[in-house]
Amino acid sequence: MRIDKLLAHSGLGTRKEVKKLLKASMIEINSEVIKDPKTQVDPDVDVILIAGEALDYQEFVYFMLNKPAGVISATEDDMHETVLDLLQPSDIVQEPHPVGRLDIDTEGLLLLTNDGALTHRLLSPKRHVDKTYFAEIEGLVSDKDITQFKEGVTLADDYVTMPAELTILSIDEETQTSKVEITIQEGKFHQVKRMFHAVGKDVLYLKRLSMGKLTLDPHLELGAYRECTKAEIAQLKA
């Protein structure tokens, strides 16, 4: 990797700003002052010093975000706030992207990373990665619904979903609403909402709780994010 690209990805500024650091003789590679921005460097092998301080470079970043409603799962948009708008500028330099999408009005767990290989593994239809949601439903969810979800639900476009696990948490007959958890292994457009609509019910509120073995940190407030721990990253890659 070119030294100017590596330094820019490390949050030390734009390519133009990084070139100023190089010209000022502030960058050393293996005890040699480097001024050429095209110099090739291997961060896993070479010792890189910035004004005498060792550079701790991370090739990949992994962030757990508790996505709020009203924010879209995209890297840029002209009309809506995106999940990247919730990140600090220093955390955007390595160009993370959302792994999958949550609807604009859906809250909860969203993984942001620049690890393309991991993204592919988590989103590949062949992997059947579990995604669990909490939902508030308009209507009384029944054992019949549990059976239908387990067998696969036929959506309005005649697509039959893969089997899903539906758990009833509570029923409120007075308000005619239900609270449930649902685990699916697909990510079709508005899938959870369409599945409930297919059985005559509507989703009032939806929040993703987990994706694979990654579970939303209960202490993470809406709109907040944090780096995934080494254990969480290992679980995602397992």
Please tell me which residue in 85, 103, 130, 217 is annotated as part of the active site. 103
231 and 115, same domain (yes or no)? yes
Domain that holds residue 188: 131-211
Indicate whether 209 pLDDT > 90.
Answer: yes
Q: Check whether residue 67 and residue 89 sit in a common domain.
A: yes
Count of alpha carbons within 13 angstroms of residue 129, beta-carbon side = 23
pLDDT for 77-88, tens place per residue?
889 999 999 999
Indicate whether 198 and 160 sit together in one domain.
Answer: yes
- 91-113, pLDDT tens digit by residue? 887 889 999 999 999 999 999 99
Q: Compute the radius of gyration of the chain from its Cα atoms.
A: 23
Clarify whether residues 164 and 140 are in a common domain: yes
Percent of the chain with pLDDT over 90: 74
Q: How many domains does the chain have?
A: 3
List 139's β-bridge partners, or say none: none
**104, 201, 137, 66: CA torsion to nearest 10:** -20
**pLDDT digits 0-9 by tens, 10-46:** 777 787 888 899 999 999 999 999 899 999 998 878 8
Give pLDDT, residue 122: 94
Residue 103 known to be catalytic: yes
The answer to whether residues 107 and 224 belong to one domain is yes
* Shared-domain flag, residues 220 and 120: yes
Sheet containing strand 48-50, edge to edge, reads 32-33, 27-29, 48-50, 53-54
Domain shared by 136 and 207, yes or no: yes
CATH number at residue 45: 3.10.290.10
H or E segment and range at residue 144: helix 143-151
Whole-model pTM? Answer: 0.83
